């Protein structure tokens, strides 16, 4: 079982819709969770971090964390074609200072 | 401020040659990570440095791979006797452990072994 699992997609949404990206993790000791966006041919770019249960909003992005269910999600409101990218979910645990990345979900926003 | 920088951005080498890849982390960041990403694949963890502690080398795929971090700052990843399967993008990331653990990535070095 992988530490962090994501649906590889591809996920397609029309422009203006809400894109919902999901991630589960296996280590209950994980403390911090991150979402990265990676455009084709580019390196990952941090877009959201979340540490506590609940929602965290930043502009059009909302990260949601449910530690009881070991579930992290990213909502992108008013999706734009420029949001088309692969989104990587990551977790951090201070046991061994381990970072774990999912394999990413490919998102396409259709104009 | 300045982000993570890596050099070279591209490297083409012949099979069997040694290569060195360099990473300059964000100033003040105590942790430095190396990853490898093959085309269309996820991130593969290679090695992790934290301050002056012994590095976590658990992700290095073979003894041809080694890395060092001098003065707690710049890091060099060395691949000896390169093989075609070493072709990938090598990514470096740094973070400030003890604050947010957020990792920031450099632009990567694209290595092609011919």
pLDDT tens-digit series, residues A36-46: 999 999 999 99
Report chain B residues whose CB lies below 8 A from the CB of A42: 107
Percent of chain B with pLDDT over 70: 96
pLDDT confidence band for A74 (50 / 70 / 90): very high
pLDDT confidence band for B1 (50 / 70 / 90): low
- Tell me, yes or no, if B106 comes closer than 8 A to chain A by beta carbon: yes
Backbone φ and ψ of A69, nearest 5°: -95, -5
Side-chain-side CA neighbours of A91 within 13 Å: the count stands at 27
Asked if the model's pLDDT at residue B57 lies above 80, the reply is: yes
DSSP state of B54: P
Contact A32 B108 (CB under 8 A): no
Tokens of A104: 């990413």
Contact B101 A96 (CB under 8 A): no
Asked if the model's pLDDT at residue A8 lies above 90, the reply is: no
């Amino acid at each position: 079982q992988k530490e962090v699992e994501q649906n590889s997609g591809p996920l397609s949404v029309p422009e203006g819709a809400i894109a919902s990206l999901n991630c589960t993790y296996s280590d209950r000791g994980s403390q911090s969770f991150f979402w990265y966006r990676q455009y084709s041919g580019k390196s990952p770019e941090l877009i959201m971090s979340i540490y506590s249960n609940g929602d965290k909003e930043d502009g059009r992005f909302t990260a949601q964390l449910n530690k009881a269910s070991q579930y992290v999600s990213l909502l992108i409101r008013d999706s734009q074609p420029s949001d088309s990218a692969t989104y990587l979910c990551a977790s951090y645990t201070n046991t061994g200072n381990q970072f774990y990345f999912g394999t990413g979900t490919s998102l396409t926003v259709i104009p | 401020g300045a982000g993570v920088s890596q050099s070279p951005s591209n490297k083409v080498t012949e099979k069997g040659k040694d290569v060195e890849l360099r990473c300059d982390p964000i100033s003040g960041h105590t942790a430095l990570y190396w990853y490898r990403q093959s085309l269309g694949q996820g991130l593969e963890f290679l090695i992790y440095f934290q301050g002056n502690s012994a590095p976590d080398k658990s992700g290095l795929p073979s003894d041809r791979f080694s890395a060092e971090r001098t003065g707690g700052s710049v890091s060099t990843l060395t691949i000896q006797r390169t093989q075609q399967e070493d072709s990938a993008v090598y990514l470096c990331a740094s973070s400030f452990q003890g604050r947010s653990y957020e990792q920031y990535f450099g632009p990567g070095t694209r290595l092609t072994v011919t």
